[in-house]
Amino acid sequence: MEALRCESLTKTYQGGGVPVHALRDVSLSFAQGSFTAVTGKSGSGKSTLLHLLSGLDRPTSGSVIYQEHDLARYNDNQLSVLRRRRFGFVFQSYNLVRELTARENILLPVMLDGRKPDEGHLNRIIEVLGIGDRLSHLPGAMSGGQQQRVCIARALANKPAILFADEPTGNLDGKTGREVLTLMRTVSQELGITMILVTHDLGVAEQAERIIRLEDGQVADDSGEGEDSITASGGNFIESEISRNKRSPQCGVAPIETAGVIP
Ligand SMILES: Nc1ncnc2c1ncn2[C@@H]1O[C@H](COP(=O)(O)OP(=O)(O)OP(=O)(O)O)[C@@H](O)[C@H]1O
Ligand SMILES: [Mg+2]
């Protein structure tokens, strides 16, 4: 089943009068539960692709389709609800709120959504990530690896359908980076989360099932091309939302259509 796809995705930045073609006519499909690495030289369009796929930015043309819904049809508010409930993000810079403890940072997206955390799920993530003894610490009192693990826990706290990661191990030493990546994969696999990971590091990329290489804003190589990943979604978004809510009532997830995400 398909988790996400983009069709003819194009992004042109108008910088100082000279247009920058960051992404040109990119069409990709990501299978549910798959783990894809996006590689390419600096400036090849990796972050741009990730920002568009995750609804953090809007394309110049082309579309991003999540569960048969074109993200272009969502207004900014609907998009932020969708992102908070369905997508998780891990960036190279840790982006933790410095005044909040690790635990408060992890819970922030769930709280912002006015929901109760699923304690069993949280405890499992905290255990796998090995940050149980750091929960009352402020980010400033944690190492880079520990902060990144807190970011991963925060991204997974909502049980996202898709985890987007942009150079999540870029600021860590090789060994810590590999450990963090392994943890991210372990939790994602357990939960059936689709992972899309941007990395310069070929050693990191090789751990993925599929490697996409961008060059100059276009797909230069795609190891998953021609595979069964380009299948139409059999799922109905609203039905899956409702059954998902029934499955995890402790999360108290309001059906997404009542939040106005479905126009
Ligand atoms: N906000 C922006 N305004 C103008 N140009 C931009 C903007 N963001 C990105 N670009 C340009 O778009 C191109 C692609 O940038 P992008 O950040 O996607 O590359 P990247 O592959 O993620 O690079 P890196 O590996 O260095 O992070 C680059 O030429 C970049 O300078
Ligand atoms: Mg980048």
Supply 122's token pair. Answer: 């949280």
Is pLDDT of 258 > 50? no
CA of 169 from ligand 1 middle (Å) equals 19
Phi, psi angle pair for 214, to nearest 5°: -95, 145
The ligand 1 atom nearest the CA atom of 50: 18
Q: Three-state DSSP class for 194?
A: strand
Sheet holding 194-198, edge to edge: 87-91, 162-166, 194-198, 35-40, 210-215, 218-222
Confidence of residue 260 (pLDDT cuts 50, 70, 90): very low
Question: Vertex 134, ends 133 and 136: CA angle to 5°?
Answer: 110
DSSP H or E segment with residue 48: helix 46-53
What is d(CA 254, CA 222) in angstroms, rounded to the nearest whole number?
37
What is d(CA 227, CA 229) in angstroms, rounded to the nearest whole number?
5
Task: Give the model's pLDDT for residue 226.
Answer: 58
Residue type for position 18: V
Task: Give the single-character DSSP code of 140.
Answer: G
What is d(CA 30, CA 194) in angstroms, rounded to the nearest whole number?
8
Q: Three-state DSSP class for 132?
A: helix
Nearest alpha carbon, ligand 1 atom 19: 43
Supply 66's token pair. Answer: 């999540």
Question: What pLDDT digit, counting tens, does each position of 8-28 carry?
Answer: 999 999 877 889 999 999 999
Q: Where do the domains of the chain lie, and which CATH numbers do they carry?
A: 2-251 (3.40.50.300)
Task: Give the model's pLDDT for residue 202.
Answer: 84
What is d(CA 168, CA 65) in angstroms, rounded to the nearest whole number?
25
Nearest alpha carbon, ligand 1 atom 24: 42
CA of 166 from ligand 2 middle (Å) equals 7
CA of 43 from ligand 1 middle (Å) equals 5
Most confident of 52-56, 76-80, 252-256: 52-56
Supply 130's token pair. Answer: 């090995």
Question: What pLDDT digit, counting tens, does each position of 186-212 carry?
Answer: 888 888 999 999 998 888 888 899 999
